[in-house]
Amino acid sequence: MGRLRNVASLVKKTFVTMRDEGFDAVIYKAKCKTDDTPEYTRWMARNEKEHSILKSEALVSKPFFSVVIPCYNVDDGMLRECLNSVLNQTYRYFEMVLVDDASTMPSVKATLKEYEEKYGKAGNDRVKVIYREVNGNISLATNDGIMEAKGEFIALCDCDDLYAPNALYEVAKLLDKKPDLDMIYTDEDKIDELGLERRDPFFKPDWSPETFMSYMYPCHLSVYRKSLLLEVGMERKGFEGAQDYDLLLRVMEKTDRIGHVPKILYHWRMRKESTSSDMQAKPYVLEATRKAKEEALERRGLKGHLELIEDISQYRVVYEPQGNPLCSVIIPSKDNPKVLEQCLRSIVNMTDYANYEIVVVDNGSDDENKAKVEKLVEELDAPERKVSYVYEKREFNFSYMCNLGARNAKGDYYLFLNDDIEITDKVKQNPRIKDVRGWMTRLLGQAQVSYTGAVGAKLYYPGGIIFQHAGVVNYGIGPGHCFYGMPDDTNYYYGRNILDYNFSVVTGACLLVSRLKFEEAGGFDEELAVAYNDVALCFSLIEKGYYNVLRNDVALVHHESVSRGLDAENEAKEIRRKREMAKLYDKHPGFAMGVDPCYNPNLSGDRNAFNLDDKKLVEPSSVGTYESRGKELVWDKNSVKVKVDSICYGDDAIRIAGYGYFKNKRNNNKNGYAVVLMPDNKDEDYENYTDKHTAYFAAANRVYVKGFADERGRTRGFALCHFDSIISRDDIEPGEYKLMITIGGGLVDTGEHLRI
C-alpha cells in the first residue's frame, strides 16, 4: 500500500507540474531526479584534481615544520595511513616527531620502530620517535614532541587522521606571503574508519575571536610558531579533550597574527569513540571546555558566565557589563507614531538593564504626528530613564539621522534601533531564547570586549521565528541577510544561528557599538543616505581592527513586511540600490567582489544558507569568441523581457544568472540562452562594432524556477526561463565588458557591465 501511495503521489505531482508549468518542466525535473551524486562529491571532483593538488611552486622562504603526532593504542592500519599521509607531502621541509604515550598495544611500538628505522636512521632524518615510559595523556605527550622538535613551526596531527598531500605546502605558501603569522589553521572534513568516504566539509571563516569563544572552530590543521608555544607554556595537563582549545585561548592573548587557508587540508577520522562523530562521545571534553573558558575570562579580567546549550553540547559565554555605563538607544522615526509607541513601550517594559536613555530622531513628521510623539516622549520620560526627542525637518537621510542622534546622546554606548523593532516574550517560541528581558545587558556586555566592534541580534518576522536577520554576508552579488525567510528551528551550518558568531555586518535595525569606536570609524556615512550605511559602518570597524558580533541568544521582532524583498522593489529603487552599492565598494575596496573575512570563499556567493558555491561544483560554461559586425539580430525591448539577477565574482570564476522571455510567446520553456561579453568601448555601442572588436560567447544553462510568472502573471510555459552561466576567469582577458544576453538567437543589451 505504501508503494502504491508513493506512485499515486508522484503521478499527482507530475500532473500538477504539467498543468501549471508545461511538459518541458516535467522532463527537466525528471532529469534532475536521476542525478543523486552528493554535492560534496561533485565539489571534490571539481576542486581536487590531482594536477592541482600535487602542484607546488618555488617559495622565497622555506619554513621548516615539525609535525608532532602523539600516539596511543591506535589501530595499526589507521596509524600507517596517518604517517604515510604526512610523509607523502609535496612540501619537503619538515620532520615528523612521533610520541608513543606508553601504548599497551604491541603493534604501536612495532610500527613506530619500523618507521624510525626506515626514515629516521637511514640518513634522511625525517622521523624522530619518543617512547614515554609512563602514560601522561595527550597533553604531556604533545609537549614532549614540541620540546624535541627542531622546526620553527609546530604542526599538530592526531595519530588516526590524515593530511591532504598539499597540506604543508599550502601553509608554507601563506607564510611565504605573511611571514609574521604566529598561527595558521585550515579547512577540514571527516573521513570514515575505513578511509574510503569523505563527508561533512567544514569551510571556516578567517580568524574570528568571538566565534572561537563559542567553540573550537579552527581545530585542524593547526600550525603554531614554536617560540610562542614555549612562551604560553604549551598544552596543560587537566584539559584533555579540550587541550588544543585551551592552548589557543592562551595563544590569542599573546597574538592576533592568525592566518587561515580556505582549503580542505585535513581529514578527521570518524570513530565511534571520537568527538568527530559526536561531542557527547567524550563527556569529559565538555567539562574541560568549560574550565578553559572560565579560566580565560578570569585571566582577561572579564565579568561573565557560561550557559550550556544542551542540544549541541557547547557553552555560550555571556559577558556581563562592567561599570554600569549609560547606553543611549537612538531611534530614527518619521510619521510612524503607532509603531514607534510599540517599540518604546516594549523597551520600557521588557528591559532589565536600567542605565539607559532613549533618543528619538525625527526628520520631519507632520504636525499631528509630531504632537503624538512629543506626548509619548513626555509620558515615558522619567527620573530613572531619560527620553528625548530631536526634530529636524529635512530630506530623508538615515545616516544623518543616526549621527544626529549620536550627537544628542550622552551615553558611552550607542544602540541604534529601528522604530519597528519590538522586544517581546513571543520570541520564546524558540526554546533556546531564555532571557528576553536581558537583551540589552547581553549586547552591552559583548560590546565592552576590547576587540568587539558592532554587536547585533537576530530578528524575527512577527508571529513566529522566521528570520528577517541573522547576520549579513558580503556575498559576491552584494551584502545580503543569511537564512533570510528561514525558520529558526534547526541547526544551520555549524550552529551559525545558535552560537555567537563574528559576522562582517550586523544590521542597523539593531546595532550596539561603543561611542569611542563609533567615532573612530567615522560614524554613519552620510553619502549613503538610504542603503548600505550600516554595512559601511561595519566595514569601517573591521578596517580599524575590530570584529563585529551577532549574539544569537538575543532575538527581537522586526515589523518589516515579510513580503517585501528585492524582487518587489521598483525600478527606481533598484537603480538607487546599485548606485549606493557601487559607492560602498568604491569607499571600501577591500570588500569588493564578495570579500568577506567571516565567510568562506568556497561557499555560495549568492545564496543565504551557507551552501557550497555553485561555481565550484560544476565545470565552467564553454567559452568561445564572438565576432561582432553590427549585423546581429537585436531584439526590441518591447518584445522581450531580460533581467540579470546576479553577477557573482569568485576567485576563479564568475557566475551570471537571470531570466528572459518573449512577452507575446506562450511557451518560453524551449528558449536557448547564452552570455555575450563585449569590450566596453565607451565611445561606441555594439551596433557600430567592426571586425576589429572580438567579444566572448559563453553557454548558459536553463534553470527551473517553481511558480515563476511573467508580467501578466502566467506560469505555464515560463518555468524554464531562468539562465545560469559560470565563466572561468582564465577564459576571459582582463578588462571591462558590456553584458549581453542572447535569447532565441537575438541579442539583448542588459545594461550591466563587468570588470574582469
Residues 250, 182 contacting (CB under 8 angstroms): no
Q: Given this model, what pLDDT does residue 678 score? A: 86
Q: What domains are defined for the chain? A: 56-278 (3.90.550.10), 327-594 (3.90.550.10), 619-755 (2.60.40)
Q: Given this model, what pLDDT does residue 397 score? A: 95
**Which distant-in-sequence residues (6+ apart) come within 8 Å of 332 by Cβ?**
361, 362, 363, 398, 401, 402, 405, 418, 419
Answer yes or no: is pLDDT of 745 > 90.
no
Q: What is the pTM of this model?
A: 0.89
What is the Cα–Cα distance from 540 to 538, expressed in whole angstroms?
5
Q: Given this model, what pLDDT does residue 376 score? A: 97
- Among 70-84, 229-243, 262-276, name the one with the lowest average pLDDT: 262-276
Q: Given this model, what pLDDT does residue 755 score? A: 81
Confidence band (pLDDT; 50, 70, 90) for 609? Answer: confident
pLDDT tens for residues 724-734? 999 998 898 88
Q: Mean pLDDT across the stretch 389-394?
A: 96
Q: Mean pLDDT across the stretch 116-128?
A: 83
Instruction: Choose among 719, 713, 698: nearest CA to 655.
Output: 698
Confidence band (pLDDT; 50, 70, 90) for 754? Answer: confident
pLDDT tens for residues 449-481? 999 999 999 999 999 999 999 999 999 889 999
Q: Mean pLDDT across the stretch 359-377?
A: 97
Cell output for 188: 577540514
Confidence band (pLDDT; 50, 70, 90) for 11? Answer: low
Confidence band (pLDDT; 50, 70, 90) for 577? Answer: confident
Q: How far is CA 198 from the centre of its chain?
A: 22
Answer yes or no: is pLDDT of 245 > 80.
yes
Q: Mean pLDDT across the stretch 190-218?
A: 96
Instruction: Choose among 679, 403, 701: nearest CA to 528.
Output: 403
Percent of the chain with pLDDT over 90: 72
Residues 424, 465 contacting (CB under 8 angstroms): no
Q: Mean pLDDT across the stretch 576-598?
A: 93
Preceding peptide of 221 cis, ω within 30°: yes
Q: Given this model, what pLDDT does residue 564 score? A: 38
Q: Given this model, what pLDDT does residue 414 score? A: 98
Q: Given this model, what pLDDT does residue 534 score? A: 98
Confidence band (pLDDT; 50, 70, 90) for 275? Answer: low
Answer yes or no: is pLDDT of 649 > 60.
yes
Dihedral angle, C-alpha 577, 581, 584, 590, nearest 10 °: 160
Q: CA-based Rg of the chain, rounded to a whole angstrom?
A: 29
- Among 25-34, 91-100, 347-356, 491-500, name the one with the lowest average pLDDT: 25-34
Q: Mean pLDDT across the stretch 614-620?
A: 85
